Structure 1
Amino acid sequence: MMPALARVRQAYEQITLPLGRICMRMGLTANMLTYLSLALSILAGYLIAQALFWWGVVGILLVGLADVLDGATARAARTAGPYGTVLDHVTDRYAEFFILGGVMLSGAVAPIWVLFALFGMIMASYVRARAESTGMIASCNVGFAGRQEKLALLILGLLAQPLLPQIRILEWAVIAVGIASHITAAQRLDYTRRKLTAADASPDPPTKSGLAG
């Protein structure tokens, strides 16, 4: 099962390609936009840590915009490559750390639940990366929820927290992110087991794949 938002990736890439061409004309490169995304995630984490949750959401949306633009620019300039892919995924993990770190420092969520969610997000990404690095699985982007779905849950919690602080909606959103992440990691591990077991049983040589993230 592929994450819901990943299913529209092909259409999304075509729609955002003109934005990449605009960035090219402005002299921006994909890597520059990746670093901008990282800087914006630090800002978003700081705003959330100060309990400025709605401004934190604005920061997260800007992170997402920079993330969209770096991919679009790489496609428009035809500069997409293994290093850019690795850099993008590494900065994504740092962004998750800064944003969830801000949630923990805000005091709105118990630290144990932040760690639970953060560890789940890292493990879901790690399982995918290790699966694809075997060279026998072209894509392990499967499971209950991808990064976008989990960020959407977090954004909903951040928006609702100032309105109903007594219900601790943000904490429940973080718990949901953690559960979704650990389920996704388990699903990806099971998918990897089935693919590799089938490859071992097949007389045909495995196909070579690219880098994962």
Structure 2
Amino acid sequence: MVPLLARVRQSYERITLPLGRVCMRLGLTADMLTYLSLALSLVASYLIAQSYFWWGIGGILLVGLADVLDGATARAAHTASVYGTVLDHVTDRYAEFFILTGVMLAGVVHSIWVVFALFGMVMASYVRARAEATGQISSCNVGFAGRQEKLALLIAGLFLQPLLPQMAILEWAVILVGVASHLTAMQRLLYTRRLLRKLGSTEHA
């Protein structure tokens, strides 16, 4: 099962290509936008830690925009590279850490649930990276939820928390992110095992 937002990747890449050309004309490179995304995640983390949740949502959306633009710029300028992909994934993990740390520092979510969610997000990414590193699996972007779906859950929690503080909605959103992440990690592990077994049986046929 491919994450919902990953299914529209081809259309999204086609639509965002003109934005990449604009960035290219402005002298922006994909790596510059990747670092900008990381810096914006620090800003979002600070805003969330100060309980400015709606401003924090704006910060997260800007992180997402910069993340979209770096890929679009790389495609438009034909500068996509293996290192660029690695850098993008690494900064994504740091951004997740910063944002969830901000949630923890805001004091409305118990730290154990933040750790639970963070560990799940890291493991889902780690399983995918290790599976694709075998060289036998071109893409392991499968599972219940990808990064975008999990950020959408966090945004929903941040939006509703000030409106319904007595319901601890942000904490429930973080818990759901953790559950979705761990489920995705297990799904990717099972997918990898199934595919590698299939490839092994084909090779020995």
Normalised by the length of structure 2, the TM-score is 0.99
Q: Which residue of 2 aligns with 1:70?
A: 70
Task: Report the residue type matching 1:81 in the other structure.
Answer: S
Whole-angstrom CA distance in 1 between matches of 2:108 and 2:125 = 26
- C-alpha distance after superposition, 1:51-85 (max 9, x if no partner): 00000000000000000000000000000010000
Whole-angstrom CA distance in 1 between matches of 2:162 and 2:30 = 35
Whole-angstrom CA distance in 2 between matches of 1:148 and 1:203 = 36
- C-alpha distance after superposition, 1:13-46 (max 9, x if no partner): 0000000000000000000000000000000000
Whole-angstrom CA distance in 2 between matches of 1:125 and 1:111 = 21
The Cα shift of 1:174 comes to 0.2
Task: Report the residue type matching 1:47 in the other structure.
Answer: L
Whole-angstrom CA distance in 2 between matches of 1:15 and 1:163 = 35
- C-alpha distance after superposition, 1:112-141 (max 9, x if no partner): 000000000000000000000000000000
Whole-angstrom CA distance in 1 between matches of 2:42 and 2:190 = 34
Could you tell me which runs of 5 or more consecutive residues in structure 1 were left unpaired when the two chains were aligned. 205-213
The Cα shift of 1:203 comes to 2.2
Whole-angstrom CA distance in 2 between matches of 1:4 and 1:52 = 29
Verify: 1:28 aligned to 2:32, yes or no.
Answer: no
Task: Report the residue type matching 1:146 in the other structure.
Answer: G
Whole-angstrom CA distance in 2 between matches of 1:98 and 1:46 = 9
What is the root-mean-square deviation in Å for CA atoms of aligned residues?
Answer: 1.0
Whole-angstrom CA distance in 1 between matches of 2:46 and 2:118 = 17
Whole-angstrom CA distance in 1 between matches of 2:118 and 2:45 = 14
Q: Which residue of 1 aligns with 2:51?
A: 51
Q: Which residue of 2 aligns with 1:106?
A: 106
The Cα shift of 1:201 comes to 1.1
The Cα shift of 1:5 comes to 0.3
Whole-angstrom CA distance in 2 between matches of 1:42 and 1:122 = 18
Q: Which residue of 2 aligns with 1:134?
A: 134
Q: Which residue of 2 aligns with 1:15?
A: 15
Verify: 1:82 aligned to 2:107, yes or no.
Answer: no
Could you tell me which runs of 5 or more consecutive residues in structure 2 were left unpaired when the two chains were aligned. none
Q: Which residue of 2 aligns with 1:209?
A: none
Whole-angstrom CA distance in 2 between matches of 1:21 and 1:132 = 30
- C-alpha distance after superposition, 1:127-169 (max 9, x if no partner): 0000000000000000000000000000000000000111000
- Pairs aligned (count): 205
Q: Which residue of 2 aligns with 1:39?
A: 39
Q: Secondary structure at the match of 1:10?
A: helix
Whole-angstrom CA distance in 2 between matches of 1:151 and 1:8 = 17
Moved runs in structure 1, 4+ residues, more than 2 A? none
The Cα shift of 1:199 comes to 1.2
Q: Secondary structure at the match of 2:31?
A: helix
The Cα shift of 1:202 comes to 1.2
Verify: 1:122 aligned to 2:122, yes or no.
Answer: yes
Normalised by the length of structure 1, the TM-score is 0.95
Whole-angstrom CA distance in 2 between matches of 1:38 and 1:75 = 20
